[in-house]
Structure 1
Amino acid sequence: MSPTMSALRAGWSSGLIELRQSLTNAGDLLNHFLWPVLMLLVTYFVRDVSFGDTGFDLGTLVLPSILGMNSAMAMITMSQLLTMEREDGTLLRAKATPNGVAGYLTGKIVFVTLGLIVDLAIFLIPGLLIVPGLSIGSADAWLTLLWVLALGLIATLPIGAVLGSAFTSTRSQGLIMMPMMAMIASSGIFYPVSSLPDWVQVIAQIFPVYWLGLGMRSALLPDSAVAVEIGESWRHLETVAVLGAWAVLGLAIAPFVLRRMARRESGSTVAERREKALQRVG
């Protein structure tokens, strides 16, 4: 077996182990349930709110949008993990073994992806019971959901890795959340973007969150719901084009940034970060 394949295999095993640990640890298990439950409450309270004169309830439109938003949030999870494990020396230990960084990153991708699928299931399964009017009876709906999710992860996880490489402290990760919240607010997740000002619609269509939400809506909503979308179209080709562009950008930048970050990691830099952290605690 080649060194690269050995690293990928080790990364796969590592990701599965991390997932199993997170699902058997009380604190991590709470994190898996907290956000989906909060989103379920939001969906429940808007399930009977009508959107204009379209005949659709807001809850029906919101549920698939939240799936898209949660998929995009995997980018933040990836960023936080890299920053945290860079700070505590985990990445340095991986660097010290042959092909260790490749195995480490594979493990993170596996862990984040499978953890996301668990979180989506926690939200979606009860959500299907709460919200009426979803189109879930055909194989095409689930195939569309799968390809949108897969392409969305390819588009967002490399960007998350780049962001994780840019921050040297978990405290600085908070800088990501405000732009992310603004992106979500303008992407039609909790209210159709077609009802927002034109300039907001233009900005929303630049980023992956909008397209992930649109793709999920195209999978789970009936065809008549397209009337509330921009151009009254699900725009699958545009979804592939924009998410594909983000994927190409991320995959082009991430290897360079990650190699540069790994080269700069040393025992002295890890010790320096720990000393700064202890000073803040003190």
Structure 2
Amino acid sequence: MEWSFRAAAELVTRIYAGVAGAVFLVSGLLYLCLGHWQVTHLDFWRIYDVCLNRSWLESALLKYNGHSHFFPSQLWLADLRFCHGNMELLFVAGLVLLGLTVAGLIVVVWGDAQIGLSSKILATFVIIAANFWMGRATTTASGGFNCCYSLTLGGVVLAFLGLRLLPASAHPVGLTCGIVIAAVVSSFSFATGLALWPTLLFLGYCMRFRLHRLVVLGLAGIVTAAVFVSLPSREASGGLMLGPDVAAAFIKLPGLLCRLIGSPIAHVVGAWFDDKTARELIDASGFSLYIGALGAALSGLIVVPRW
């Protein structure tokens, strides 16, 4: 009796998740097709202003609001050049990229033999709901924004998939290059893609990768971050990637990394004080820098002996 009830519950769950996922997908696609932006909108007024007054390469290399859109910008630059800024074509491109990203996530889930059928169906429903729910309409209804976020997430998916296949791969060098390329595409599609690099290093460490593989990923991440920092913003009046700026980016990068590592502890310590001046003093004293450097050193002492 207990087994029958459990089997019936699983069957009902599978049917509900499958039907709900299908309804969510169809309704989401209909909403996007009927309610997407058909004209220039929001940040694209400023982006197109730059694109129309600067060269193709310069427009692609500039950062907008702290984000580098080098790879997705190729789509709207081509749209501007050859199709006169047709937002419908840009929307179709973004929708295709979104569909490919969702399909990639679903393929990864269904390719895992350790996950049961019910879990796979539920995971598929979650993936569809997370990508097509109306709360994301501000981005998915915009062709340009959809290109940015889909390329960012798509790079993450490909990098994680490559990381999973790397230990048993017959061509580890080529697969490692593929992982790096996917991470670079993610990083230069939207700035949050930069978080992929430490994640790859952490996962590689947990998967007990050899030291040389982690070094390759680490160096690639450092170079990517340095290039990202050296790119000027839209408001910059100087040229692109000046020599001193690149050198300064490399010099500042270790300090920025240490501040990032130590910032959680600095925020906790700052929260102990009610006085705003005391918290600002902690921020200005380099507390997060020193704590982060100490944490990085301790991590090195723990990690290196494993090899």
Report the TM range for the smaller structure's normalisation: under 0.3
Q: Scaled by the length of structure 1, what TM-score is found? A: 0.27
Greater RCO structure (CA 8 Å; 6+ sep): 1
